[in-house]
Amino acid sequence: MPCLTNIGTLVTCPPEGGQGDLGAVRGAAMVWEGDTITWLGPRADLPREADQREGASGNGPSYDCGGRLVIPGLVDCHTHLAFGGWRADEFAARSAGTGYPEIAARGGGIASTVRATRAMSRQELADRAGGFLQGMVRLGITAVECKSGYGLSVEHELRTLRAYRDLSGSGAPRLVPTCLAGHMVPAEYAGDRQGYIRLVTEEILPAVAREGLASFCDAFLEPGPGLDAAETTAVLEAGHRHGMVAKLHADQLTDGGGARLAASLGAISADHLERVSDEGIEAMAEAGTIAVVLPIAGVYLNCPPPPVRRMVEAGVQVAVATDFNPGSAPSYHLPLALTLACVKMGMSPAEAVRGATTVAARACGLEEVSGSLAPGRPADFAVIDAPDVDSWLYHFKEGTCAATVIGGVTVAGQLPGSQ
Ligand code: NIG
Ligand code: FE
């Protein structure tokens, strides 16, 4: 049984805890067998059979963490992982004062990525997304929600979701696919928006469901670049009829009543929420809708931060994710998102970590496998080169994740100090 000893801080994130509850154990050890954790706790309590320090009868390697931090594998619960091209031209235009909706109205924005994505084969999409996943794993990420939404036709939405299916498997993070055919109305339906909504509800979502390609259904509620409330409702209700749980891009650029709509449709999460109203927060608290905040997109689009403190006080659970996409968030650096959640949104480092582990796992249906460390749960964890969570998120630097383990297999870096 492999054993990690001399862990400076072991963050367990107990599922039943509150937003800031890390369940931290100082001076800890952790043992796993195959893909499953079998024991964790204070080093002094390590069972003799797992303890190699005194030459006891343990039969697996023992690793000395040298006082480092060990956390549950990070969960990025909101990404647009597979896409063609980049949009550096828009980044430059936005820095010169052109707005995101204005760029979209000119045929840029999501529409330009749709053109580049449709030009890629399933293999090319999988290869590129797979490269991003390798980078994510090196940051300590062990599970990723990944959206379609740059295909926007039956053929191209299926292509992206099939590419995600191709990527699932050993060595890769656990993937949770979401159908985001409701991202926007594509150019060829500009004069027939209802025609596109019918295509989504009567063809795309049924085809996705037939192949079991997505667990969640999402839409971008933002009249102008995205869908209006009636279109969003039609899409998410159709997703529900086909067994997909709703998620919603809500109240990002304007308060479009997205939080309330997400709550009323039984969505698992409402994401973005920079412009959410107090009524929206109340509705989410009542319905148990998770708030997913996306600080990297907030910085790139220079949006005001979402009112996280009011959400937490109202009893809303808050997840933190990257929103990785070529427009509003061209970075999959989830630890950076956590640091920004502290700096820009007033989350404590503990709350932010919980938001990218336990709460994030819940926001993408992975609460049974990801987001917490305990005996009987999968050995998905990261060894971080910092003594504790505060020091980790304070000191933003390269190479902080020493090793990432998924299901007991080291998929990036090296477990330190093999004895
Ligand atoms: O979550 N808001 C809508 N969708 C993405 C942006 C996609 C894009 O710009 O390509 C987001 O920010
Ligand atoms: Fe997004």
Ordered by where they begin, the domains of the chain are: 3-72+372-413 (2.30.40.10), 74-363 (3.20.20.140)
Which ligand lies nearest the alpha carbon of 145? 2
Residue closest via CA to ligand 1's atom 5 equals 328
The helix (H) or strand (E) run that includes residue 166 is: helix 154-167
Residue closest via CA to ligand 1's atom 1 equals 323
Question: Given the CA of residue 253, which atom of ligand 1 is nearest to it?
Answer: 2
For residue 418, is pLDDT > 90? no
Question: Given the CA of residue 272, which atom of ligand 1 is nearest to it?
Answer: 1
Model confidence at 147, pLDDT cuts 50, 70, 90, reads very high
Cβ–ligand 1 contact at 78 (below 6 Å): no
Residue closest via CA to ligand 1's atom 9 equals 327
Q: Which residues contact 233 (CB under 8 A, 6 or more apart)?
A: 261, 265
- For residues 110-137, give the mean pLDDT: 98
pLDDT score for 56: 46
- For residues 83-90, give the mean pLDDT: 98
Cβ–ligand 1 contact at 153 (below 6 Å): no
For residue 57, is pLDDT > 50? no
Cβ–ligand 1 contact at 328 (below 6 Å): yes
Structure token pair of residue 351 = 């709350």
Cβ atoms of 381 and 9 within 8 Å: the answer is no
Helices then strands, each counted (H, E), the chain: 16, 16
Calculate how far, in angstroms, residue 249's C-alpha sits from the geometric centre of ligand 2. 6
pLDDT score for 361: 98
For residue 53, is pLDDT > 60? no
What count of Cα atoms within 13 Å lies in the side-chain half-sphere of residue 94? 21
pLDDT score for 48: 82
Cβ–ligand 1 contact at 251 (below 6 Å): no
For residue 353, is pLDDT > 50? yes
Q: How far is CA 30 from CA 183, 267, 282, 377, 416, in A?
A: 43, 36, 40, 12, 14
- For residues 327-352, give the mean pLDDT: 98
Cβ–ligand 1 contact at 327 (below 6 Å): yes
- For residues 144-154, give the mean pLDDT: 98
The overall average pLDDT reported for the chain is 96
Angle in degrees, CA 184, 189, 191, rounded to 5: 115
pTM of the model: 0.97
Q: pLDDT tens digits for 29-49?
A: 999 999 999 999 999 999 987
Q: Which residues contact 188 (CB under 8 A, 6 or more apart)?
A: none
pLDDT score for 285: 98
Cβ atoms of 352 and 393 within 8 Å: the answer is yes
Return d(Cα 166, Cα 177) in angstroms, integer.
12
Model confidence at 227, pLDDT cuts 50, 70, 90, reads very high
Cβ–ligand 1 contact at 301 (below 6 Å): no
